[in-house]
Amino acid sequence: MHFKYVILYVESPRDTIDFFCKAFDVTPGMITQEGDFGEVNTGETTLAFSSLKLMEDLGKSPARADAKNPCFEIAFLTDDVAGGLAKALKAGAGLVQDVKQEEWGQTTSYVTDTNGFLIEICSPVTAPA
């Protein structure tokens, strides 16, 4: 087996895909004709979005994201955390943490997307000098 998908439950997959493409330099993948499920191309693991309504129609009880009480985060790796943060904020992300040099040799910042999901924008970890 291999890890293939992360599916986030959102109000509007189309709007979320538009946001992610503008904020994080990903490209759109497939989207259903109904617009209730879609993906962005992120590499080996697919980041997908399903509408809350579709999940309810399938008998699930999806919760909405809560940026003040997240239960997970997704992360985008970049060599330019400050530039990535600026781009995400310009696209409509909410600032959670500005650019910070971490003691373990990584630069991090955090935003929320338009649905309230916590997203880390980070550099690769490098050994401290």
Residues of the chain with CATH 3.30.720.120: 5-57
| Residue 124 reports pLDDT greater than 90 | yes
Q: How confident is the model at residue 129 (pLDDT cuts 50, 70, 90)?
A: low
| Residue 127 reports pLDDT greater than 80 | no
CATH code linked to domain 74-122: 3.30.720.110
What average pLDDT does this structure show over 85-93?
Answer: 98
Q: Report pLDDT digits (tens) over 10-36.
A: 999 999 999 999 999 999 999 999 999
Integer Cα distance of 93 and 18 in angstroms: 12
Shortest CA distance to 85 belongs to which of 113, 121, 124?
A: 121
Mean pLDDT (the chain, rounded): 94
Shortest CA distance to 100 belongs to which of 79, 78, 81?
A: 81
* Selected residue with higher pLDDT from 49 and 127: 49
Q: Output the pLDDT for position 100.
A: 98
**pTM for the full model?**
0.91
Shortest CA distance to 10 belongs to which of 38, 41, 34, 40?
A: 38
| Residue 68 reports pLDDT greater than 90 | no
Residues of the chain with CATH 3.30.720.110: 74-122
Shortest CA distance to 38 belongs to which of 61, 60, 17, 69?
A: 17
CATH topology of domain 5-57: 3.30.720
Q: Output the pLDDT for position 47.
A: 96
Q: How confident is the model at residue 109 (pLDDT cuts 50, 70, 90)?
A: very high
